[in-house]
């Protein structure tokens, strides 16, 4: 994997985790790298890791707590209390993340993660919800053939008909128009391909195709600007079914 692809993968991962736009996530990742990713100084008496009985902290977060304590010196309950005292509910995401980063010396990445999880636990943000209030969901699939074979299957109308039928009519029409359009599926010199399009209702869809070892490939589709949380499951289910059908076709 080239350095450019590694950087983009890191940026997309951060954007999904923090709810930032790609541009904002890129700025923070580059800033983080420029500082040499220096570890946050640990306090003289590190907080002990929490147990499953920690009040107000979901069990799923507690599984990630050892790493949080290692990097910030405290667990989720401590940081949630910090943000409560700061008035994060009223002051908003940006001010809250800045408070954790600048006033408490936490690395920007972890300051964002802490703030996002605080907002979810306090009911200020749902899973897959961005700071704008819109929702976003990504679906990925490792396919059994190389990028060239996948690109061919994406561009061939007969091949598409065998796996895009599970998409709802609006999404399928937008996908078909994008593939046949002037920009279409753009192949990249370093391997892989990209495509981006919008549906009639304003959903933005970005498709990423990248090579994998042993002649395989990775297909990722990100659905952005979803209006309701219910749209997450609908898009996730549709794309998973489509990717499974595509994989079966490529395997046959």
Q: Would you kindly state where each structural domain of the chain is located, as residue ranges?
A: 3-121, 135-251
Nearest to 60 by CA among 137, 129, 120, 131: 120
d(CA 130, CA 158) in angstroms, rounded, equals 37
Mean pLDDT of residues grouped by 10 in the chain (252 residues)? 68 70 70 55 38 64 88 91 91 88 86 84 69 77 94 89 89 92 82 91 92 93 84 89 93 87
**β-bridge mates for residue 222, sequence order:** 138, 206
| Alpha helices (H) in 35-136, listed in sequence order | 59-62, 65-72, 76-86, 88-91, 93-98, 104, 108-121
Q: The whole model's pTM is what?
A: 0.54
The per-residue pLDDT for 110 is 87
The per-residue pLDDT for 143 is 95
The per-residue pLDDT for 3 is 64
Q: For tokens 């749902």, what's the residue? A: 126
Looking at CATH, the fold of the domain delimited by 135-251 is given as Alpha-D-Glucose-1,6-Bisphosphate; Chain A, domain 4 (3.30.530)
The per-residue pLDDT for 10 is 80
The per-residue pLDDT for 130 is 63
d(CA 211, CA 142) in angstroms, rounded, equals 9
d(CA 3, CA 5) in angstroms, rounded, equals 5
CA distances from 1 to 88, 90, 210 (A): 39, 43, 10
CB contact at 8 A, 126 and 229: yes
The per-residue pLDDT for 9 is 77
């Amino acid at each position: 994997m080239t350095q450019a692809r590694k950087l983009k993968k890191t940026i997309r991962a951060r954007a999904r985790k923090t709810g930032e736009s790609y541009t904002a996530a890129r700025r923070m990742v580059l800033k983080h790298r420029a500082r040499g990713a220096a570890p946050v100084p640990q306090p003289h008496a590190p907080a002990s890791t929490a147990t499953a009985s920690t009040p107000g902290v979901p069990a799923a977060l507690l599984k990630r707590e050892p790493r949080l304590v290692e990097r910030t010196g405290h667990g989720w309950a401590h940081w949630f209390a910090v943000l409560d005292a700061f008035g994060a509910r009223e002051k908003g995401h940006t001010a809250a993340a800045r408070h954790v980063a600048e006033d408490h010396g936490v690395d920007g990445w972890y300051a964002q993660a802490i703030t996002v999880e605080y907002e979810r636990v306090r009911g200020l943000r749902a899973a897959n919800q961005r700071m704008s209030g819109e929702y976003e969901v990504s679906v990925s699939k490792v396919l059994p053939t190389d990028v060239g074979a996948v690109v061919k299957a994406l561009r061939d109308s007969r091949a598409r008909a065998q796996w895009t039928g599970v998409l709802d009519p609006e999404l399928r029409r937008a996908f078909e128009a994008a593939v046949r359009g002037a920009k279409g599926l753009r192949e990249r010199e370093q391997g892989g391909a990209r495509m981006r399009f919008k549906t009639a209702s304003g959903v933005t869809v970005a498709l990423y195709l990248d090579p994998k070892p042993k002649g395989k490939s990775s297909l990722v589709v990100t659905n952005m600007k979803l209006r309701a949380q219910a749209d997450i499951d609908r898009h996730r289910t549709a794309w998973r079914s489509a990717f499974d059908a595509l994989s079966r076709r490529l395997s046959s």
